[in-house]
Amino acid sequence: MAPASTKTGEIPFSHPTISTPLKTWYEIHGTLSTPSSPTHRPLVVLHGGPGIPHDYLLPLVDLANTYPAPVIFYDQVGCGRSTHLPEKKNDKDFWTPELFLSELDNLLQHLGIQDGYDVLGQSWGGMLGALHAIRQPPGLNRLIIANSPADMGSWVAAADRLRLGLPEDVQETLARCEREGKTDTEEYEKAIMVYYERHLCRVKPLPAELEASFAWLKQDDTVYLTMNGPSEFFVSGTLKTFDIRKDVHQIKVPTLLINGRYDEAQDEVVEPFFQEIEKVKWYRFAESSHTPQLEEREEFMKVVARFLGYKNR
């Protein structure tokens, strides 16, 4: 089957504290629906981090190649191919969920899809997607929350438990570097990778798509460091107090909840979504950690396509 057509572009995005317009880079695989050529609703993909661009989610192109389903990727401002703002590092008043909600609304309006679309958010992207759905935008039809916490307290508690399963020398290195403020060292980075190989992505060697996202992060960690912190389990940024458990009942669209057996987002981390969302299904990938779209690619696409109601061409 021939690959779906691809279109890239940049969308102007303004912020009251920035004098020049920002740019949100996007890429559409497939063709947006028209009266003469109807397709499935577009699927808007929200990447994680914050500040880790979309590359590691590119396996979702499979959906556009298999079904008449346009898939839209974009790099959130501050990372990847969108405008970078390294001068805003540690500016906690600037890097907020509200900034990225506004950017998402701007993208939907610019592409003219605000009246009918689906959202798949992965990790931080799932948190952002949930916040978007809580507002009950009329054009949102279905939501997929993949590998995401409803609150960061549960995420950190699960990470602390998973760390106890690491080799003792790795645990010691992580603790010492965090204690001594040496989280920007090669020693700490190597210790983190031991954790990531167990609980972020279990494919060896790491897939090229994930390596590409990590390369972008290494070039500019402004957003990730400010909002998250130095690592997946050492959360010291603005998201440290993130907690939407009391609000998720306001998500009214059908929702698919995803995590993996070895995921950083352990069952107790994602369970509040399952308990509080009215129309929800939960699928747990048996051989995956935090990136089932890379670890169990074929099964992941089947699960997502079935939920979204896709049918083969």
Catalytic positions are 123, 263, 290
Q: Please provide residue 8's backbone torsions phi and psi, each rounded to the nearest 5 degrees.
A: -120, 160
Q: What residues contact residue 263 under an 8 Å CB cut-off, 6+ apart?
A: 147, 199, 288, 289, 290
SS3 169: helix
Measured in whole angstroms, how far is the alpha carbon of residue 199 from the centre of its chain?
16
Angle, helix 267-276 to helix 152-163, in steps of 10 degrees: 150
The CA-based angle 128-126-154, given to 5 degrees, is 100
Question: 299: buried, middle or exposed (CB in 10 Å: 19+, 13-18, 0-12)?
Answer: middle
Q: How far apart (Å, rounded) are the C-alpha atoms in residues 102 and 226?
A: 19
- Give CA–CA dist 69/32, Å, rounded: 8
78 torsion bin: left (phi>0), alpha (psi -120 to 50), beta (else): left
Using CA atoms, how far residue 260 sits from 21, 114, 131, 275, in Å, is 39, 31, 22, 18
The stretches of the chain forming alpha helices (DSSP H) are 61-66, 97-111, 124-134, 152-163, 168-179, 186-199, 208-219, 222-227, 267-276, 292-295, 297-308
Q: Taking the CB of residue 284, how many other CB atoms lie within 10 A of it?
A: 14
